Amino acid sequence: AMRHLPYFCRGEVVKGFGRGSKELGIPTANFSEQVVESFPSDISTGIYYGWACVGNGDVHKMVLSIGWNPFYRNIKKSVETHIIHTFKEDFYGEILSIVIIGYIRPEKNFDSLEALISAIQEDIAEAKRQLDLPEYLKLKEDNFFHLPEGKIVNNH
């Protein structure tokens, strides 16, 4: 599950499936299908943590979901990043750069929206804790976040 990590990737933020993540207070920036298809096919679905940056902006902590979303019975694979930061505006069409660092848990079905939201809040707390570890903080400063677009696709 972890052998692809850390995984560096960047791509355009596109409109998602209108699940109303934002209404839940947890907006997720969706990558384009092209970016999703470039992921290793054997990367485990589930919830991950790492660092993210929009355009040339600051690098923030993030949680990311990869895969089928059982709660919404999705028919498409998705890679969605919730950046742990409050943005003034949406950033559809911008380039999102991420490094995926660690795995939190597999995807799950939830009995209620409340259960889903509280699981995500726990994921966010776990991401915040993990990313403060020195070895992970280091990746925040990685050149990947400062180099011109397209120079590095990922580190493998």
Residues of this chain that interact with ligand ADP (CB under 6 A) are 13, 15-22, 27-30, 82-83, 85, 87, 90-92
- CA-CA distances (angstroms) from residue 14 to 6, 71, 93, 105? 23, 21, 6, 25
Least distance from ligand ADP to the Cβ atom of residue 123, Å? 13
Q: Are 46 and 68 in contact (CB under 8 A)?
A: no
Q: Please indicate whether residue 80 is annotated as part of the active site.
A: yes
Least distance from ligand ADP to the Cβ atom of residue 24, Å? 8
Nearer to ligand ADP, 2 or 25 (CB): 25
The residue annotated as part of the active site, out of 23, 33, 80, 94, is 80
Q: Are 75 and 95 in contact (CB under 8 A)?
A: no
33 binds Mg ion per the rule CB under 5 A:
no
How far apart, in Å, do the first and last CA atoms of the chain sit? 15
Nearer to ligand ADP, 2 or 92 (CB): 92
**Tokens 């726990």 -> residue:** 122
Nearer to ligand ADP, 4 or 19 (CB): 19
Task: By CB under 5 A, name the one of 4, 5, 16, 71 that touches Mg ion.
Answer: 16
Beta strands in the chain (DSSP E): 7-14, 29-31, 46-54, 59-67, 78-83, 95-105
Q: Using CB under 5 A, list all residues that contact Mg ion.
A: 16, 21, 28, 30, 80
